[in-house]
Structure 1
Amino acid sequence: MNKSTYILDQKLLVSGAVRFLNYLLDNIFILILVFIFGFVMAIVASLFDMNGLLIWLDTIGDLEGRVIFILLAVVYYTVTEGLMGQSFGKLITGTIVVDENGERPSFGTIFKRSLCRIIPFDALTFLSSSSRGWHDSISGTYVVNKKALAEEVKIFKEFNLIGQNEVI
């Protein structure tokens, strides 16, 4: 039995423009999460007569808002990419996060990838010619077109079956 392993072809990487679209779409979803978080916190504070929390929510500053956004972004990317292999932005654009073998990365790798997004200017690094950002390089992940990857892996597996005896 042939035990060769599929290695991702660089031609499957999506362009910087698609990565930028993913970024914009995901930021919209994260902002929705921030709104929901604030709304839920306000309801909880009102129900349990937590006036201090209501005052804090009303006077939240830029630094606190940015910290909340970053924390929710890490949770968003870790949960969506960890469970589905793609965020909602990637789902819309038909792209997926994979490792070098075209497989879904482990939850730990996705968490590492999500934490790397906190690095300043990381969001701009995928605009280079390779279209791999720092969060991709550091975590060893790639963003590819989901359909193109499926077709490539199918061809690879069919090619590896050539010359093997059929088991009846």
Structure 2
Amino acid sequence: MSNSTYILDEHLLVSGGARFLNYIIDLVFFLFLFFAILVLIGLINGLFGLNSVSLWLDGLGDFGWNFLFISGSLIYYSVMEGLFGRSIGKFITGTIVVDENGEKPSFGTIFKRNLCRFIPFDALTFLGGSRGWHDSISDTYVVSKKGLDESVKSFHEFNLIGVQEVN
């Protein structure tokens, strides 16, 4: 078998429109999840009379709520992309996060990618193309899963040409 390594082809990158759709789907899902957790906390608070939790939530202020939102978002993206290489939005649109070899990045790389999402103006970096700062800094790519699977399969089949079978 050949020792050659698959290198991602730039034509597999998804468009800026698909990236924006991923963002909108993930934002809606995350907001739903965030508010569902708050409702659950409220229900538990009401059932068990945990007034200290209510007082804590009431006293968070803008900084506290922003901190909770950013922390929750970091956890959501890191867990989803770390475990599956995809967020809910990417599952729906058929896209996936990979490294330059078309493989799932390490959890450390995914965490770095998701920390970079909070760089001011990161979202505007997609206006110049389909890779933003959180992609280029972490050396990750968002590609069509179906296209990637076909490309990797073709690459490996091509490398088998001329290789003798061992019986």
1:76 maps to amino acid: Y
Query: How far off is 1:60 after superposition?
Result: 4.8
* Number of aligned residue pairs: 167
Partners of 1:120 and 1:148 in 2: how far apart? 32
Residue 165 (structure 1) aligned with residue 136 (structure 2)? no
Query: How far off is 1:69 after superposition?
Result: 1.3
1:143 maps to amino acid: V
> Following superposition, which runs of at least 4 residues in structure 1 exceed 4 angstroms of deviation?
none
1:99 maps to amino acid: D
Preserved CA contact (<8 Å) 1:16 1:128? no
Structure 1 residue runs without a partner (length 5+): none
Structure-to-structure mapping, 1:55-134, within 5 angstroms: 55-58=55-58, 60-129=60-129, 131-134=130-133
Partners of 1:127 and 1:167 in 2: how far apart? 51
Query: How far off is 1:2 after superposition?
Result: 1.1
SS in 1 for 2:137: helix
Partners of 2:140 and 2:14 in 1: how far apart? 13
2:85 maps to amino acid: G
- Identical columns (%): 62
SS in 1 for 2:97: strand
Partners of 2:100 and 2:45 in 1: how far apart? 46
Query: How far off is 1:135 after superposition?
Result: 0.9
Structure 2 residue runs without a partner (length 5+): none
Partners of 1:134 and 1:97 in 2: how far apart? 14
Q: Deviations over 1:33-84 (max 9, x none)?
A: 2102212322333344332321343465333222211111101101111111
Preserved CA contact (<8 Å) 1:96 1:143? yes
RMSD: 1.5
Residue of structure 1 equivalent to 2:154: 155
Residue of structure 2 equivalent to 1:143: 142
Q: Deviations over 1:10-38 (max 9, x none)?
A: 11100111101111111111101210221
